[in-house]
Amino acid sequence: MRFVRSTAALALATATATTEAHPLDISGSGTAAIAWWSIEPWVLACLVVSGALYVIGLARLWRHAGAGRGVHTRRAFAFAAGWLLTAAALAGPLDALAAHLFSAHMLQHEALMVVAAPLFVIGRPLGAWAWALPPGWRRTIGRFFHRPAWRTPWLVVTGPLVAWLVHALALWLWHIPAWFEAALADRGVHALQHASFLLGALLYWWSVLGFGAQRNRGAAMASLFTTMVHTGALGALLALSPVAWYPTYAGRTRAFGLDPLEDQQLGGLVMWIPAGFAYVACGLATAAQWLQRHDRLGHPA
């Protein structure tokens, strides 16, 4: 019953957020004083620039090579979905709600790390972004990224072990109470937290979803399984803890019908179950691809 009541409270708060575009009165019943559409300028700038460059570059590329060539339509849709989800997580009501509910904060983080990040990797936007630049710049950048001085570090940081470690460290370190509280207290630290989560997740999913002959599906499945285990462990610690870890939320959750511990338990469940399912689903898909490949090799046409 406690879980059901907590989930219902979060759903009600989120539904309220999507219908309000002005600050609410904290003295009212069931809502807190939040400017639902308060948007950080740097977030808006990053979203606008990345989206505009992608659209311009994709239009130029398809005009030159033909629609669907160079960047497949599926990849374009994947990038668009990742961009929209990132915008919803960082520049919408969920971001405002995350300042008042830990569970909403966890939903925001998981949306970025488990859904948006793999969509961006599948979308592979670098090619489209390059086509948005003048031809001279495009050639210079292309030569730079093919140099060993760049390729060697890139292959290291996107290798299965290093990418796994970066992702895991970002997740665990930022959930240390002192670090998480610092992010809640300072916008600059909060921006660093979100950047760490997203960049670490991008490296991680690139190592898992890597394309071409270099992809190691065995390493990808091991990475997915162990990530599911350690993220599930952190989620379980949050959900089963008898005490609330983050004092800042103590005075903010009551307006939504939750005590701080219930809010934390719900946030832990978000990390533990839905996010864990995403890793399992990706692992099963990778295993199926691996088996199909071996079947083709073992039974040539």
Q: Does pTM surpass 0.85?
A: no
Query: In this predicted structure, what is the pLDDT of residue 167?
Result: 96
pLDDT tens figures, 82-130:
999 999 999 888 888 998 999 999 999 999 999 999 999 999 898 889 8
Q: How far is CA 33 from the centre of its chain?
A: 27
Instruction: Decide: 190 and 153 in contact? Cβ < 8 Å.
Output: no
The average pLDDT across 5-27 equals 41
Distance separating alpha carbons of residues 248 and 186, to the nearest angstrom: 12
CA angle 205, 207, 210 (to 5 degrees): 95
pLDDT tens figures, 259-276:
899 999 999 999 999 888
Residue 241 predicted with pLDDT over 80: yes
Cβ burial 85-95 (10 Å sphere, 16+ → b, else e): bbbebbbbbbb
Instruction: Decide: 38 and 96 in contact? Cβ < 8 Å.
Output: yes
| Every domain of the chain and the residues it spans | 2-298
132 φ/ψ sector (left φ>0, alpha ψ -120 to 50, else beta): alpha
pLDDT tens figures, 193-208:
999 999 999 999 999 9
